[in-house]
Amino acid sequence: MPDTSPARRGSWIRRLWHWFWHPAKAIPLGVLLIVGGFGGIIFWGGFHTAVEATNTMGFCVSCHEMRDTVFPEYQETVHYANSSGVRAICTDCHVPREWGPKMLRKIRATSELYYHLMGTLATAEDFEERRLHLAERVWAEMEATDSRECRNCHSFEAMDFDAQIRRASRRHPEAIEDGKTCIECHRGIAHHLPREMVDDDD
């Protein structure tokens, strides 16, 4: 019969604890480095795959709040279908490309899961009630980053003002001179404006 006395168990636990903190004495350092290296590669690959999976349009519209409200609006815009065949998906406008800012945005997005679970936007009516608040948060973020995501595709330097419609060819040089950022003028181009803004004569 095996010895299960407290002294025997304590001895086994001490040996395990010692091995955990000093594994090189039991396992060659080269083996630890190889296993650790492969483990790191597998972890990083899995992490990167998971992050990229959350950057797909399918993931973005997998919840009803997006699928039933802003997604149909976006499908009516030039960002979804146009003569050049270039489509800007959700993450092109709402997620930074740089790794650090991207991770910060992903972390902040976890708060949105809370509101999803709480049913804050359970109906289209709930969404419309909060549309102005939600839009103002997005616009403030875009202004704070000088419309970074817009500028991934659009730049004043690449614009041919003579080829633009009259209003745009006049306003874009003014925006450059005044130091304006894209979102200050271009609101409601991918999603409907909040009704408070639509109803406002100003």
Least confident of 17-21, 99-103, 179-183: 17-21
Residues 164-186 have a mean pLDDT of: 95
pLDDT at 36: 85
Q: How many domains does the chain have?
A: 3
Buried b (16+ CB within 10 A) or exposed e, 120-143: ebeeeeebeeebeebbeeeeebbe
pLDDT at 11: 76
C-alpha 142/C-alpha 148 separation (Å) is 7
Which structural domain range is residue 165 located in?
155-185
C-alpha 44/C-alpha 170 separation (Å) is 48
Residues 98, 40: one domain? no
Residue in the structure block whose two tokens are 């960002």: 79
45, 100 Cβ separation under 8 angstroms: no
C-alpha 100/C-alpha 71 separation (Å) is 27
Residues 78, 97: one domain? yes
% of the chain surpassing 90 pLDDT? 68
Residues 101, 138: one domain? yes
Residues 109, 90: one domain? yes
Residues 117, 143: one domain? yes
What global pTM score does this model have? 0.76
